[in-house]
Amino acid sequence: MMHGVHRGLEALAGALLLICVASPVVRAAGRKPHAVFLGAAKKVPYSKAGDPAGAQAGEKELKIRALLVDGQVKEWTTGDSHDITDRSFVVRRVLKINDALPEDQQGHWVWQRGPWLLVDRTTGRVTALKLPDYDPGVSQIGWFRDYAAYCGVTASRKSLYAVVAQLAVRKPVLAKKLDAFDPDRDPATACAPVEWQREPLRAVFHAAGKDAVSFDIIPGSAVLVEDSGDETEPAASSKAN
């Protein structure tokens, strides 16, 4: 009798051990993938009164889309998105700012163009990109692979720079002065969007009032490590044409 009870206890212990070992696998297998997508576009009032550095002259409306993760609005975005890999893309954030003065009785909300976001479709993670010398009112980014090319403005707001940044790299691949920055000029007209050429890999910059200037980029492998916080050292360099 005691022998039968002992064998029964051994069987029960083995079953419990099997459940404990298998449960992480079951939980992993049952994990649902994230649903990440951009919603339908809508228009909101927009002007230089609400966004002095971002709105163009005469611009009255801004087309925005919600960034939804698992059906929940994570951010509001504007403009076209750009695929970096088959699972990650970038899109520009748009901010809703309370423009009310302290004595105002009610909030006064305005929309402003903001920084770029890196979105991972697999994990649902949304990360704000900190691009060197990026200025929301001046920097019109031209994307190629994981490179962002744009005109940047130094912190002193005295110089306009040609910048090529590679995602996940601390230092810019390219940072060359183009001209002095005129704070009295409409920021949106300081520099036209950058153009890319593939062979040879080249970024062409168009600062206002200046001839186009191009820089050859020595290509390196993409360094974006998805689902990792590790930083990677620069893998590319540049030279002026």
| Domain identity same for 57 and 141 | no
| Domain identity same for 192 and 167 | yes
pLDDT at res. 99: 92
d(CA 219, CA 206): 22
| Domain identity same for 106 and 151 | no
Q: Yes or no: say if 160 and 153 are a contact pair by the CB < 8 Å rule.
A: yes
Tell how far CA 1 is from the center of its chain. Answer: 70
Query: Could you say which of 72, 107, 129 is where a domain stops?
Result: 129
Which residue is associated with the tokens 């998805």? 226
- Specify if 16 maps to a domain: no
- Structure confidence by residue, pLDDT tens digits, 109-139: 999 999 999 999 999 999 999 999 999 889 9
Cβ atoms within 10 Å, residue 190: 23
User: How open is the CA angle 200-203-207, to the nearest 5 degrees?
Assistant: 150
| Domain identity same for 69 and 150 | no
| Domain identity same for 124 and 136 | no
Domain interval for residue 135: 131-241
pLDDT at res. 31: 57
pLDDT at res. 10: 53
Query: Could you say which of 86, 103, 129 is where a domain stops?
Result: 129
pLDDT at res. 224: 67
Nearest Cα residue to 172 out of 141, 154, 147, 200: 147
pTM attached to this predicted model: 0.76
Q: Yes or no: say if 1 and 7 are a contact pair by the CB < 8 Å rule.
A: no
- Specify if 231 maps to a domain: yes
| Domain identity same for 135 and 124 | no
| Domain identity same for 42 and 90 | yes
* Residues of the chain with confidence (pLDDT) below 70: 1-32, 223-241
